[in-house]
Structure 1
Amino acid sequence: MRAAVVRNETVMTEPAVDAIVEVRGISKTYGSVEALREIDLDFPRGKLTSLLGPSGCGKTTLLKIIAGLIEADGGTVAVNGKKVSAPGPERAFVFQDFALLPWATVLRNVAFGLELRGTAKEERETTARRYIKDVGLAGFEDKYPHELSGGMRQRVGLARALCVDADVLLLDEPFSAVDEQNRRKFQEDLIRLRTNQNKTFIFVTHSIEEAVYISDRIVLLSPRPGRVSRIIEPQIDRSGDPDRIHRDRHYLDTVEEIWQGLKQYVE
């Protein structure tokens, strides 16, 4: 099979089948810098979509607009059919720099979102322990962030996002601060979590290889101002040995196809 490519998604007027997030006409300018221009996108429920493009194309800006962390200058975002303009419980954000509470244990960090919602202590800690185990940190519940490696702190951030049971998880280059070995393991864990949790993931990355490896869909953004250039759906069998994927012809062909499209923008 070849990678399926959808071009000119910006002409779409009808939402994709079972789109959980609908982005329509999103634009954003910082002073004299136009970051995004008329972004139209649908994010299918239960899929992992990566945002990929040259530096400065507005990937993180778009992610934060969907999260409700920054306000767009024009356009709308809808989640589950309802327009949103601020953070909400149906979305959870995993920050690049972990954003953990330094004075709180792993258990309390993971349960913090539920604590803010007023969930009873026993219930929130039971839920937190389940997700701590899911991300491979069982036994570290009573540790503090400064006692953990960078990779472990990122796992805490992911567990915290999963713990609040949001429909959509937004991840801003979550693996960029860890070494290559941990990055590979995180990628495998993310594929497994998406399958087991049936959540919708929107993932920002600079890595072509990472995007092709983990994604159901890859949205390529053009150089600033960011616009939807094309959408690629890697046709890759992710069952069995994960290491096999990196040797798969369809994986390698898709990586090369994307690189050929992006290398002109690399200085």
Structure 2
Amino acid sequence: MSQISLASRQAAKPAAEIAVRTRDVSKNYGSVEALKKLSLDFPRGQLTSLLGPSGCGKTTLLKIIAGLIPPTSGEVEVNGKTVTGPGPDRAFVFQDFALLPWATVLRNVAFGLELRGVAQSEREDIAAKYIRDVGLAGFETSYPHQLSGGMRQRVGLARALSVDAEVLLMDEPFSAVDEQTRRKFQEDLLTLVANENKTFIFVTHSIEEAVYVSDQIAILLPRPSRVSEVIRPTGIREKGTENIRRDPEYLDTVDRIWASLRSYVE
């Protein structure tokens, strides 16, 4: 699909309010320059994917937005406030699940609320709701070692949702599951984006996945990373998810992104 066509579709809708803003963010690890003056806006209530070659700084940017590591220079704003560390307005969904092995599903999902001092009955009610929402009803008393990888990832997602953070940061959350489970996760994620009214920032290596789930795709250049271009597959989103992977616009967008990235793949 042409850049002009994408731009015209975007112009037909009013501009979304910005939830997260990065301005000239740079990050150095000693002599290694991971990010260089990276600026990007993340619209409220939408899902933005960060896509680029391995080692281009996607996870680094995600951790800076989360407040887990500081930028070397530049700044990040969430709801107009400068990020100086982790905060309740952001929640992180880790690639490796990061569950408490000694805690039940219910306790794991409620853990963030427990740390905030929410009363047990209230936090368990909230946790139970999100356990149902991610399709794990009936597994509340199970332990992580009793669950499949896909089920453990659903626990991590339910935990992030339960704390009611405005921004969900997802670091390749579906990379450790099989293809069938991954496709189901992608469909479920679109439902959550539509129903939760949260801002999702999603790191992935998969072009197909990014085009399928995203309102906005930011393509990052190899280290030191900057934003190469931002693509908004608006027409695809408007058609819904049924048969989307066979849709010509979807296929054209995947091919266009691959053409822009292939020279950076070794």
The DSSP-based 3-state class of the residue aligned with 2:234 is coil
Superposed CA deviations along residues 129-163 of structure 1, whole A, max 9, x for unmatched, are 00000000000000000000000000000000000
Structure 2 CA distance for aligned equivalents of residues 75 and 17 of structure 1 = 23
Counterpart residue number, 1:233: 232
How big is the alpha-carbon RMSD for the aligned residues of Structure 1 and Structure 2?
A: 1.5
Give yes or no for the alignment of 1:155 onto 2:150. Answer: no
- Please report how far the alpha carbon of residue 242 of structure 1 lies from its aligned counterpart in structure 2 after TM superposition: 3.3
Structure 2 CA distance for aligned equivalents of residues 99 and 93 of structure 1 = 10
Kindly indicate whether the alpha-carbon contact (under 8 Å) linking 1:238 and 1:245 is maintained by their aligned counterparts in 2: no
Aligned length: 258
Kindly indicate whether the alpha-carbon contact (under 8 Å) linking 1:90 and 1:167 is maintained by their aligned counterparts in 2: yes
Counterparts in 2 of 1:54-73, with a 5 A limit? 54-73=53-72
Gaps of 5+ in 1: 7-15
The DSSP-based 3-state class of the residue aligned with 2:124 is helix
The DSSP-based 3-state class of the residue aligned with 1:36 is strand
- Please report how far the alpha carbon of residue 235 of structure 1 lies from its aligned counterpart in structure 2 after TM superposition: 2.5
**Which 4+ residue blocks in structure 1 deviate beyond 6 angstroms?**
none
Q: 1:31 to 1:242 in 2, by over 3 A?
A: same
Counterpart residue number, 1:132: 131
Q: 1:258 to 1:239 in 2, by over 3 A?
A: closer
Kindly indicate whether the alpha-carbon contact (under 8 Å) linking 2:108 and 2:155 is maintained by their aligned counterparts in 1: yes
Q: 1:240 to 1:41 in 2, by over 3 A?
A: closer
Kindly indicate whether the alpha-carbon contact (under 8 Å) linking 1:114 and 1:124 is maintained by their aligned counterparts in 2: yes
Counterpart residue number, 1:89: 88
Counterpart residue number, 2:108: 109
Counterpart residue number, 1:247: 246
Counterparts in 2 of 1:130-209, with a 5 A limit? 130-209=129-208
Structure 2 CA distance for aligned equivalents of residues 185 and 44 of structure 1 = 25
Structure 1 CA distance for aligned equivalents of residues 18 and 198 of structure 2 = 13
Structure 2 CA distance for aligned equivalents of residues 40 and 240 of structure 1 = 30
Gaps of 5+ in 2: 8-14
Q: 1:127 to 1:39 in 2, by over 3 A?
A: same
Structure 1 CA distance for aligned equivalents of residues 49 and 127 of structure 2 = 27
Letter in 2 for 1:203: F
Superposed CA deviations along residues 98-151 of structure 1, whole A, max 9, x for unmatched, are 000000000000000000000000000000000000000000000000000000
Counterpart residue number, 1:42: 41
Structure 2 CA distance for aligned equivalents of residues 239 and 30 of structure 1 = 41
Kindly indicate whether the alpha-carbon contact (under 8 Å) linking 1:5 and 1:231 is maintained by their aligned counterparts in 2: no
The DSSP-based 3-state class of the residue aligned with 1:242 is coil
Q: 1:134 to 1:2 in 2, by over 3 A?
A: farther
- Please report how far the alpha carbon of residue 35 of structure 1 lies from its aligned counterpart in structure 2 after TM superposition: 0.3
Counterpart residue number, 2:260: 261
State the TM-score, normalizing by the size of structure 2.
0.94
